[in-house]
Structure 1
Amino acid sequence: FVLCTVWPGALSVTRYSIAEEMERGSVVANLAADLGLEPGSLAQREVKLDIFTNKKYLDFNKKTGELYIVEKMDREYICPAKPTNCFVKIDVIIENPLRIFNIELGITDINDNAPHFRRDRVELDVSESATPGERFSLPNAVDPDVGINTIKTYKLSDSEHFTIEIQTGSDGTQYVDLVLTKSLDREEESVHNLILTAVDGGVPVRSGTANIIVKVQDTNDNSPRFDKSTYTINMTENSPIGSLVMKLNATDLDEGENSEIVYAFTLYTSEKTQGVFALNPNTGEITVKGTVDYEDMKFYEMHIEARDKGTHPLQGQCKVVVHVIDMNDNYPDITIQSVKNTVSENIPVGSVIAVVGVSDRDSGDNGKVILSIHQTVPFILNQSLERPLHYQLIVSEPLDRESVPEYEITLVATDNGTPFLSDNQTIVVHLLDINDNAPQFPQSFYKIRVMENNAPMALLSSLTAFDPDLHENQYLVYFIIEKEIANTSMSMLFSINPENGDLYALKTFDYEIEKEFLFHIEARDSGSPPLSSNVTVHIIIVDQNDNAPVIVSPWRAHGSVVEEKIPRSTDKGSLVAKVIALDTDSVHNSRITYQFLQVTDATLFSLDQYNGEIRTMRMFSYRDPRHLRLVVVAKDNGEPALSATVTIKLSTVETAVKAYTDMTEVPLEYDLFSDLNLYLVIGLGSVSFLLLITILVTIVLKCQKPKSSQTAPPSRNSVISERNSTIADSTLVSNDAYWYSLFLAETRKGKLVVRQPVPKGSRYIVSSIPRGTGVTNTSASAASTLQ
């Protein structure tokens, strides 16, 4: 615990007074002198100022002992409650020895704030019926200053209708009332703009203003008025209902509901007149409500009042006189005495549909009536000789429900008045359907393409017919007209949905076996008797590339390797072998191209990609190997492409080889004159003919030469095979070329001789033909055609 001794001097309070306008740095007092301290003694001692306000406004100079202003003081900020006296309390604490001095700094007010209204715009609603002397409270202004610097008085801008009175409350606050000095008239001036000014008592004087807007509220002090007391108009009789007769316009100088006018007939207007004319209570429009008939009444008189909607409504009145002008005002009348509204579409021409009568209440020419039809319909009016005012409506042309299912016949009756009047009436005739239309297909011929290898029960097409009849006459049943192809019924190949005409395939088709079908589909309605029609359907099977090429030359007995021998003296450009492949797909998918897949020496042999001929590109040299291997691939044009390969092993020999005597032939039947190979047969036939002539000429020339004692060396321009050494040097007699020559020779008769048996699983059909039909010894055996 610490015992603190309070110096007697700490209980005394030293007071100073400053004005709030003092600037920064201004000296408030010399504390050293006022507190009895020597200024020099404070320099060595610690001096501390505690100011009990929101922020530091003062500071102390130890050297001089002066208290000075650090920041300008705002009395309204420091003392917001507007007390009469505003003090800043300061404690000066000096150490060694400890001494505490209490100082109160009084701040005097200056007129640095102008009066202001919390609301600078005030709107007052004052009724124009208010009496002079009525008071209306106005908001008072506020001024944060005190004393004479606060609000002193209020002033109001000049006004002949208003003034102000100032009241002072018990706390000294002034209150302002707006006083009405003269009666108001809204119709003369609806808004009064006033300015209220608050003035303080400071020097210089400061003031603030507020806008006072007085809106004059209307009272019902004006009655509606018409611009005339009596209105006279002329109108023709039989004016259409709703026609505007005239529009009344009464005015009321009031506003709001006091100026909203309601129009009405007075009790002086007869009920008959009110039955003919209507008055719109809001717009004042008078319109025709009933029949205006000159023969019934020649003029009408209406008494009308205009009443406003005020609390105590006021009213004005006028009179309207309508003179009626006579006209041909009676319309002809049409009477349907009998009518057939429903008839069959095959009703005979001349049948009576309706009996119609006409009349007119007028007399003379105004009562003469003519009945006519003003449209093109298969009906005419026939006037009765016994009763001129009765007409018969009869059928004039055959009727067709499918073209027009019903007729609206408008009968027009016209009198002979000036101007003429007319009336019309419509007769509706409905036609009943009969089964007079056969079903019709949109096309007379359907060509449907079906890709081979299709899935069974695949939808091919929808063959929908249309029948314009109705109900059971329109219900169609579809079926296939039976037709047999190769002992096969169409119903076993195709199926049609009898309700909607959807055509399905019942089996999977193969283009190589079946290429097209032609049959008829019939659509039959359910009428009595039923009508039907049929349509031709052409099913075209579209080829897929589902057959790979088959290499028929050179033939391989087993596997895909062929061994051949060739003289090393073979000349450049000589035919070594010819690869022939066949494809049973369509023309596009069966187009075959040839290319080397493997070749021992690419500089030695060439392959024609279109005819498959393998020829030498140069002569053999001593560097070339004696055994060569060629792998040829035959690829079709399908997507994706299919292919077959053949391997040819060539052995080069130095001397001629003996004739090939162990050849066997298996004749296979081949239909070279099909559509796909017609051009190939013609071309190959021509080549074979020329080749045959060449061979015959060469044999004749050889036979005429004397036999030499020694065998001549092989010519570099010849190819000698072991099969036949007696054939001329220029003859193509290699293993493959020999059979290729036979192929060309037999082509003229549409035959192809293949020297080896048919490989297992290939698609060839063998059939025998008579002997002796070939051009060589080998072709004299049992020949065949290749399909």
Structure 2
Amino acid sequence: IVPFLLFLVGTEAVINLKYGINEEMKPGSVIGNVTKDALKQGFQIAPQPPYLRVISNSEPRWVELSPAGILTTQMKIDRDVVCRQNPKCVISLEVMSNSMEICVIKVEIEDLNDNAPRFPTNHIDIEISENASPGTRFPLEGASDPDSGIFGVQSYSITPNELFGLEIKTRGDGSKIAELVVQKSLDRETQSHYTYEISAEDGGDPPKIGAVQLNIKVIDSNDNNPVFDEAVYTVNVMENSPINTIVIDLNATDPDEGTNGEIVYSFHSYVTEKTRDAFKIDPRTGIITVNGVLDYETAQIYEIDVQAKDLGPNSIPAHCKVTVNVMDTNDNPPVISLLSLNTEMVEVSENAQRGYVIALVRVSDKDSGANGKVQCRLQGNVPFRLQEYESFSTILVDGRLDREQKDTYNLTIQAEDSGMPPLRATKSLVVKVTDENDNPPHFLKPHYQEMVMENNLPGSCLLAVSAEDPDLGMNGTVSYSIVPGEIKHMDVNTYVSINPSGRIYSMRSFDHEYTRTFDFKVLARDNGNPSLSSNATVRIVVLDVNDNTPVMTNPPLVNGTAEVSIPRNAGVGFMVTQVKADDYDEGENGRLTYTISEGDRAFFEIDQVNGEVRSTRMFGENAKSTYEITVVARDHGKPSLSASAYIVVYLSPDLNAQETIGPVNLSLIFIIALGSIAAILFVTMIFVAVKCKRDNKEIRTYNCSGAACVLCLCGFGNQKKSSKKKKLSKNDIRLVPRDVEETDKMNVVSCSSLTSSLNYFDYHQQSLPLGCRRSESTFLNVENQNSRNAAPNHGYQHTFTGQGHQQPDLIING
């Protein structure tokens, strides 16, 4: 078995070191000085520590290599545990120096004879018919010894006697078994029981011995005993054969008739569980079939001891041995595995010289023979080649590398065995050609947002951020950190942390009621010289969970109990109290429902929303003086939380039931009052608007500057009428100013009935033009034609306005 190993190196050769130790060495025992021994073979090690680093270790529990290169045992090594009974027990290590060279170390563990043979039981019982002829054999259950090789079981012996002897046989796996052989005829009437000692001896010096007592019972003869056609059968079966595949059809004969000739087949008692899991035998037909998975790589040979016994009295079983050889098929493709800091990518400088080793290669195939013989090669036309060594190969630079022309090579390593048909396996290896650091890391998103439930576990992963850097090697290797800052006057690092790969973890359990959202920045920095960086904003939204139990706030509780008093004559609907509770959660988690869970529920009811507790019936004079209820406030979270209050209600004759409809809601009264005032104001405004519109149609006004106007005609509906209304015509209207020269004229402006836009009238002689109706707006102006710019006392401005069809009131100003 040759594992496939890949590691970034920079060497032109690989050296091998071999050490041998005995088992049972104490922990900390020195195996060898790898640094010193490797230097003797030309191994390159830089003077600065650490000198060596282990890149693979087949048994890291047993041996370790210090950075200085001293190889020691980690614990007491028991070869029988590490390698069981394998002929060779080797621990392999592969070491890389600080000069990027490879050293392969093999430590062989030598076995000690530290275990004696042991039988599975302390006695063996066997029955033999008195007519058993000399030479009849009976297989015995063997002893086991965990030691390997010569230190395992080598021989068996029996207490010296004339009737029985032992014959030693070697199994296919090298183990020894013993068979009891009848040497002389037996006579039950002379002696029916024999007791001997069987000893098993290993090959140590001195040897270790294990013993067991053998009890032989001589029984009456059975005329004929079953006989197998052959004593030993050898068959071949392919691995991976389906279950119930026939392996062999055994046949034993017995000339007796009836039950004396009816034969039953079975495995011998000492057939192992492993063999019984792989095969089974039909007790009537003697056919052995596959019972489990046969794998050549696990077991190549099985030896099955079968006995055939008739059903007659004092039957003597017949025995045979079936050797099953499992034939290998090419069912295992070559196995490719990777072991390195990065198992899929190797970096190499574009200045690497021809012959520079970038990878160490090994191939494995569990099959045997040609099926397990593997060839390895690189596919495609690439500037790399494979260099073969005894047990592995290396990949070397075989041409000029130029990153500006090509910065990535995808190597395909193909392994193919020699089976028919051959099986193949491939592994891809990316070779990156390194460059200078000229690109900062770039986050996939400038802003990250993550929803997190409150009460999270500290140390839990919140999210992962990722930044890309198109540079190569260390220039493109990105590390992450939290930008210093504060969250609610606390260091951001007390809230979150980030690992080098960009996974952000919580440092505390978040509380939605305290912190609903918080932002921080993540910095991504490459490892170039000088390094480049960029940052991204992360927002954590803390979601509410139902983690706050409602707290009763009203009525005040003492040890969970509140006492209230109500009048004995309180009627139906009388408000006993109002239960209130607070829940700091939000939404459904904080919405409370009130219920009466226990007590005198027939006398009280509660509003599920506002918590008002009211009476549901009259109490009367004969009612008891005390009632008890339990009120529960429960939120709507999942699962919901609740709080309860035990309320004792006392009926007091000293109180009067002034109201049965509950306390006045001041907010409601305030709203009703505002609505009423607004309605009154609205109606008043409508009334005033209508009134003003009506009055405007009736108003006729003379605005007289000074005391010149002796007659003003004004129509105000709200003035007190001092005389009976009189119907006026245009001829009845005159303007008589005081102390005004006769040359003054009166002009009329904006009267649509006039012949021109500007007319002058003698206010002593002329009336208003007949064409001006009352409904028109007429502006009258008294002017001095000779001196229009004179002082106001020489001319007076009079304005006449008339609207509507009603007759104006007549007011005479003396």
Q: Larger Rg: 1 or 2?
A: 1
Q: Same fold by TM-score, threshold 0.5 exceeded?
A: no
Which structure is higher in RCO with an 8 Å CA cutoff and minimum separation 6? 2
Q: TM-score, normalised by structure 1?
A: 0.29
User: TM-score of the superposition, structure 2-length normalised?
Assistant: 0.28
